[in-house]
Amino acid sequence: MRVGVEVGGTFTDLVAVGNGGITITKVPSTPHSPDIGALNGIKAAGLSLESVTDLAHGSTVATNAVLERKGAKVAFVTTEGFRDILFLQRHDRRSIYDIKYRKPEPVMARRDCFEASERVLADGSIATPLDEKAVREVLIPKLKEGNYGAVAVCLLNGYANPVHENRLVEMIEAALPDLLVTRSSEIVRIFREYERASTTSLSAYVQPVIDRYLGRFEKSLAEADFKGHLTVMQSNGGRLPAVAMRRSAITALFSGPAAGVVGAARQVEKSNFKNLITFDMGGTSTDVCLVNDGQPALTMETEIGGLPVMTPVLDIVTVGGGGGSIAWIDDGGMLRVGPQSAGADPGPACYGHGGELPTVTDAQVVRGAVRPEAFLGGRMKIDVEAARNAFTGIAEHFGISIEEAAESVVKLVNSNIVRAIQLVSTERGRDPRDYVLVPFGGGGPLHAASIADELGVSTICIPPNAGVISAFGLLASDFVKYASRTQQMPMDAGPKDGAAILEELKAELVEEFQKMGLSGDRLEFTYTAEMRFVGQAFELGVELPGDRLNALTVDDFRDGFEQAHYRMFYHGIGSNRPVEIVSFRVGATYPVEEVPVMHSTGDVARTPADHPVFEGGDWITCQHIASEAVKNAGTIDIPTIIEGSTATTFIPVGWRAELDHANNLIMKRI
Amino acid sequence: MKISALDYAVISQGVQAAAREMGVKLIRSAYSTILREARDGSAALLDAKGRTIAQAELIPMQLGTIDAIVQPCLELFPPETLQEGDFLINNHPYHGGQHLQDVFIFNPVFFEGKLIGFGASVAHHLDLGGGSAGLNPNASDVYQEGILIPPSKYNMDRDWNGGNFERLIASNIRVPTQTIGDFNAQFAANFMGGGRLKELCTKHGVDAVLETMDEMLNYTERRVRAAIEDLPDGVYTGEDCIDDAAFDGDDPVWIRAKVTVKGDSIDVDFEGTDPQVNCNINCPFASTQSVALSAVKVALTGSDVPFNSGLRRPITFRAPYGSILNPKPPAPVRARMIPAYRAYDAIMKALSKAAPEKVTAMGFDCTTIACLAHKDDNGFAVHIEPYGGGFGGSVDQDGCDAIDNQLSNCANTPVESLDTGYSFFRVKAYSMVMDSFGHGRHRGGAGFLRSYEILKDGATFAIYSDHHKYAPSGLFGGSDGTKGYCRVLRGGEEVIVGSKNLVNLKKGDIVEVFCGGGGGYGDPRERARSDIENDIAEGLLSPGEAARIYALPEAAE
């Protein structure tokens, strides 16, 4: 039995595959200790942990720790003279005409930033030796006194030679063995001190949270006689054994959204769609990603709450618009939605857990798109009156009906999502009309058609059990790890010295995978050299042919680089400027044996019913059918709401839909 | 408008995305630290008439008048005479340009044989010749500041890539490898933007694209007019002064602005501003226009109103010819940011009377340029760092600490990048400074110190800055920000460099540049106690100063 458990902000989803069947379970998340929700899900699914061989886990624990500033109390240590590096940042502004601009806030206070007297230079030589006496007598007592949960160490030029970072960490660990210490050189060996310090400090900030979380989870599993492999999703779209993740927290930072993209891409590929815009609308936010030729876009630099992170992650844009997003009226009297969310507790007003603020889900209940008797397969009680009451304030403020207020909120959240999609498509030179929209998450399929209308997208592909596709993605994703090293050399040295480094990195990865129990010849590798013209500061990744690593030629490097430079900058082919290699990266993938088949599952059979939905300022008649009835429904071309156990789909006027051979619902604009 | 709202949204986003991408690629393919790290460059897409349609949001000062700087080129070389492969170029302060170092390049974009616009970019070049490397504070005329490129037309194939124009430029500058590389980054950005524009035409039809470009101007105009309409009609005045005119006199130089709001338009008149001076702090009229446009934009409209030539329509401006804001040739102009910021503050002070909740107290509002140079047997090494200071407090919040000021947006250069590229100096410290801001209900942003250790004899250090004598003003009862300073520590000795100077350095010297903090907003007695205590805990406010200003007992420590 293979099980994927995905903990979201509002719900915890579980997909179990094995013994010829597929089990889907959805339980409320338990934000204070998400592992309890995960265990509740396993219990609710009626699974015996003894029979589970592969438990794949995804969570937003790391992300939420940063966004909600609930990580460890972290101290930051850097080279003398540069204590303020996390506050000075890059001295520029993201928004140039904002007279009241604020910088993104670092995860630690200025009072928790310290210095060590030392200086390593860019060539790795040492200008000032580490003042160990001061470390012992001044720094360590301060670290002890401060009651810190973790320490981040990032010294100038530590990427070139980590000798001082290593010594400092050794001293701190010897004196304060309970303190988790993270050094920049083990997280990211790339120059630019602010970006590296930011990545390191974020890693230190979430490390204790992840470590504690996974430790507790492993313990609970062991108590329930779990003997299989626990694996955890990473931001790069691959997973890692939990043990390895406890030392590599930074790669968990964007893992939640990554699983969904991988799951959706794998499932939709079966319908031969490979160029996709995925959007995952959950309880608290919506994540958007572009997939080209089946491969989710990857980026080497991203940020969280404006703070840079320099590890490879899926290129996902998030907006604060989900089912639990709260609608409010701002100081200027304008209607807004999010980023505040009612989360799982108290949740939307209609959940009846004491929430009183109007959310997007409440809006869908008010307009009749979500029927109380059918929400989540009828397993969750919905309080329509509470939802309506939550909208009275907005309706009165604007002098409109409660239904109109609800519909305005839906339109507003849709336009927020449209803007996010434009960011990953139009703003990166891609036309969304060339893509298929793939909505998932509990709310995605309900909002997809009107978002597609705004974007001019004409095809929507909705995977089965769209509400738990992230949990499915956990099972469909491969084991992935990257290793990289900064070592500057002229291009001509690439075939010999460069290839040797690539071989070393490969060997490191093979060893790491072996330690994880993933050995053998199934590993697949990608080899990348980061190159630039001498004098430039930003590199371009050049893929090298892995099948003849021993026989690389200078032309492999030059041709690859010139083409990449031309694609990016429209010049560079045939240039006689010297070229250099700055760093090397190897990616290792251990593919999953088979991607499980996803199909609709045993919902409670319900008879189709006509039920009005408030759409376009008026009530329209709408057919409501259960998701398992879609198989036999043929082509649907009247307004229809498909009620599934994990998600609700809306087919408005102007769209037609049909289930295809892969169990994906294909919607086309008429 | 004939095109659909959806097409307009898709095409206008596409044009904006193309301009933004031009900016990203200009920076990422550049060679000099001033362009690739400090990001002192900008890019835009213009229409066939040379109007700015969309821009990469990089440096407001450069972006403000790209459209005005192409005009003298188009007068000499009308659009209908341009051919594929041609480019226009201009850096002449007395023919529409700003200062020499900002070289503006325009590549025409043709679709099916028809001119549809220009890819435009500007980069601050590290060195364009002149009396000393990177920055010549002693220049008494524009010819001592570098090579002048009047509005000209050249051809890529004939004149660049080894051609005569490239060779002429390369022969007149000190670090040609980096500078020619940066020119190439400009061309690349322009081609990229042009390529994207052509792709949009292929996809949506050229007519729809051109119509969208027109409509983008109208959209911005409408939003700006609506914002001006919200202000009470009236005549508002403000003034501010530059410390001195360096070698041309110790007296302050005054800048005066009269802002007239009438209905949905605004007029900015600099009548009464002091005459031009003989040192490099003269502001060419293109730069003065850029200040007025940026000030109105930043104070009155939200960030979501895109900046383009539509912004110009409701705004008129004038400055007396021969004044420091509209000088006659051949006055030197290298440090034009100095008067530009005083003009900016004069406008802000005027607007504070019309819209007190929209403006801030004065920030440090001064570009500080630190230029380190060294020459040895291997040739020249030049490094320029542009810096800001603290923002002013506002009705809502404290000013932002240690950041580039409103008219500019340069990033700092990572110390690790300098360690790789330069062997004659090393950054010793970069830190915020305690008690470096003005106080008020909302305090100003903190200032910061950058210090350099000189590692070789024979290095030079040149600077221009301001607010070394007069601090930035507080507003509505807030106290003034802090003054800047620049000094060299040599052994036990302190040498004051001042705000506009060039000094020769020795191995072992420490150069310190301090950029001050912004002014406070509102009465300090109204400041929240928790904010004061937090500033103390964070080491930004000393207990002594807290006691003195906020009457807080020193025991709070």
**Each residue's pLDDT expressed in tens, for chain B with a length of 557 residues:** 577 655 676 688 779 878 988 998 899 889 998 898 889 999 999 999 999 999 998 888 988 899 999 999 999 999 999 999 999 999 999 999 999 999 999 999 999 999 999 999 999 999 999 998 888 999 999 999 999 999 999 999 999 989 999 999 999 999 998 999 999 999 999 998 998 899 889 878 999 999 999 999 998 998 899 899 999 999 999 999 999 999 999 999 999 999 999 999 999 999 999 999 999 999 999 999 999 999 999 998 877 788 999 999 999 999 999 999 999 999 999 999 999 999 999 999 999 999 999 999 999 999 999 999 999 888 889 999 999 999 999 999 999 999 999 999 999 999 998 998 899 999 999 999 999 999 999 999 999 999 999 999 999 999 999 999 999 999 999 999 999 999 999 998 999 999 999 999 999 999 999 999 999 999 999 999 999 999 999 999 999 999 999 987 654 44
Is residue B200 within 8 angstroms of chain A, CB to CB?
no
pLDDT tens digits, one per residue of B127-175: 999 998 888 999 999 999 999 999 999 999 999 989 999 999 999 999 9
Q: Which residues of B touch A421 (CB under 8 A)?
A: none
Taking contacts as CB-CB distances below 8 angstroms, the residues of chain A near B192 are 569-570
CA distance B388 to chain A (A): 8
Residue whose structure tokens are 């990572």:
B414
Nearest to B181 among A127, A427, A535 (CB): A535
Picking from A96, A426, A535, the nearest residue to B10 by CB comes out as A426
Task: Give the pLDDT means over successive 10-residue stretches in chain A (670 positions).
Answer: 85 83 83 86 88 89 87 96 97 90 95 98 96 98 95 96 97 95 89 94 93 91 90 90 82 86 92 94 89 83 89 86 84 68 84 90 93 73 92 90 91 82 70 93 92 91 89 88 85 95 93 82 90 86 89 94 81 86 90 70 57 90 87 89 88 94 93
Mutate to test the interface with B, among A93, A105, A142, A192 (most CBs of B within 10 A): A93
Question: How many interchain CB pairs under 8 A, A with B?
Answer: 181
Residues from chain B that touch A113, judged by Cβ atoms under 8 A, are none
Superfamily of domain A2-63+211-252: ATPase, nucleotide binding domain (3.30.420.40)
Q: Answer whether A88 sits within 8 Å of B431, measured CB to CB.
A: yes
| Residue of chain B nearest A94, judged by CA positions | B57
Nearest to A99 among B203, B299, B410 (CB): B299
CA distances to A115, A158, B427 from A125, in Å: 20, 11, 16
CATH fold of A255-322+413-476, please? Nucleotidyltransferase; domain 5 (3.30.420)
Contact with chain A for residue B403, Cβ under 8 A = yes
Q: Which residues does chain B have within 8 Å of residue A111's beta carbon, measured at their own beta carbons?
A: 537-539
| d(CA A145, nearest CA chain B) in Å | 16
Report the alpha-carbon distance of residue B378 to residue B380 in Å, rounded: 7
- Rounded to the nearest angstrom, the minimum Cα separation between A254 and chain B is 24
Minimal Cβ distance to A111: which of B20, B412, B539: B539
Q: Which run of H or of E encompasses B61?
A: helix B60-63
Q: Using CA atoms of B460, B463, B469, B470 in order, give the dihedral in degrees to the nearest 10.
A: -170
Rounded distance between C-alpha atoms, residue A128 and residue A148, angstroms: 28
Backbone angles phi, psi at B90, to 5 degrees: -160, 130
Identity of the residue in B36, B403, B412 whose CB atom sits nearest the CB atom of A93? B403
Instruction: Give the phi and the psi of residue A73 in degrees, each rounded to 5.
Output: -80, 115
Residue among A103, A157, A433 minimizing CB distance to B419: A157
Q: Which of chain B's residues have a Cβ under 8 Å away from the Cβ of A569? A: 25, 28-29, 185, 188, 192
Yes or no, beta carbons of B401 and A87 under 8 Å apart:
yes
Rounded CA-CA distance B113/B242 in Å is: 51
Residues of A in contact with B303 (CB under 8 A): 95, 97-98
Residue A51 CA neighbour count, 13 Å, CB half: 10
- Which residues in chain B touch residue A110, judged by CB atoms under 8 angstroms apart? 432, 538-540
Chain A residues within 8 A of B450 when measuring between CB atoms? none
Instruction: Please indicate whether, in this complex, the C-beta atoms of B13 and A454 are within 8 angstroms of each other.
Output: no
Pick from A81, A88, A121: CB nearest B402: A88
Find the closest chain B residue to A109 by CA distance: B538
Domain ranges (residues) in chain B: 5-223, 360-526
Q: CATH 3.30.420.40 residue ranges in chain A?
A: 2-63+211-252, 255-322+413-476
CB contact under 8 A, A100 and B417: no
B428–A192: do the CB atoms touch at under 8 Å? no
Which residue among A91, A428, A577 places its CB closest to the CB of B412? Answer: A91
At residue A77, what are phi and psi to the nearest 5 degrees?
Answer: -125, 130
Min Cα distance B331 → chain A (Å) is: 30
DSSP per position, B153-190: EEEHHHHSTTSHHHHHHHHT-S-HHHHHHHHHHHHHHH
Check CB contact under 8 Å for A99 and B14.
Answer: no
CA B412 – CA A586 distance, rounded (Å): 32
Contact B416 A81 (CB under 8 A): no
How close, in Å, is residue B3 to chain A by CA atoms?
Answer: 14
Secondary element (H or E) of residue B103 = strand B102-111
Question: Per CATH, which fold does A479-590 belong to?
Answer: Dna Ligase; domain 1 (3.30.1490)
Two tokens, residue A389: 């009451």
Residue of A550, A558, A100, A39 whose CA lies nearest to B393? A100
Determine the Cα–Cα distance for residues B165 and B171; give it in Å rounded to an integer.
10
B147: exposed, middle or buried (C-beta count within 10 Å: 0-12, 13-18, 19+)? middle
Relative orientation angle of helices B529-537 and B543-550, to the nearest 10 degrees: 160
A420-to-A415, A423, A440, A446, B547 alpha-carbon distances in Å: 9, 5, 15, 17, 48
| Interior angle at CA A430, CA A428 and CA A435, nearest 5 | 135
A454 contacts B29? CB cut-off 8 A: no
Interchain contact, B359 vs A159, CB within 8 Å: no
Residues of chain A with Cβ-Cβ distance to B409 below 8 Å are 92-93, 96
- Inform me whether the C-beta atom of residue B195 falls under 8 Å from chain A C-beta atoms: yes
Name the B residues in 55-94 with CB < 8 Å from any A CB.
57-60
Q: CB A90 to CB B412 under 8 A? A: yes
| Closest Cβ opposite residue B297 in set A90, A97, A577 | A97
* Dihedral (Cα; A116, A119, A124, A125), 10-degree rounding: -130
Tokens found for residue A280: 């995952």
Q: Closest residue of A to B182, CA-based?
A: A536
Query: Nearest CA of chain A to the CA of B292: how many Å?
Result: 13
**Looking at residue A494, what DSSP letter applies?**
I
Q: Cα separation of A320 and A23, whole Å?
A: 30
What's the CA gap between B367 and B60, in Å, rounded? 13
| Residues on chain B touching A127 (C-beta within 8 angstroms) | 426
The pLDDT score that the predictor gives to residue A331 is: 45
Nearest CA to A97 out of B314, B303, B366 is that of B303
What is the pLDDT, as a whole number, of residue B219? 87
How far away is chain B from the Cα of A82, in angstroms, using its nearest Cα?
Answer: 6
- Which member of A80, A83, A99 has the closest CB to residue B360? A99
Residue A332: per-residue pLDDT: 42
| Whether B430 and A109 lie within 8 Å, measured CB to CB | no
Nearest by CB: A110 against B396, B420, B539: B539
| Cα of A88 to nearest chain B Cα, Å | 6
In B, which residues are within 8 Å of A109 by CB distance?
537-538
pLDDT of residue B534: 96
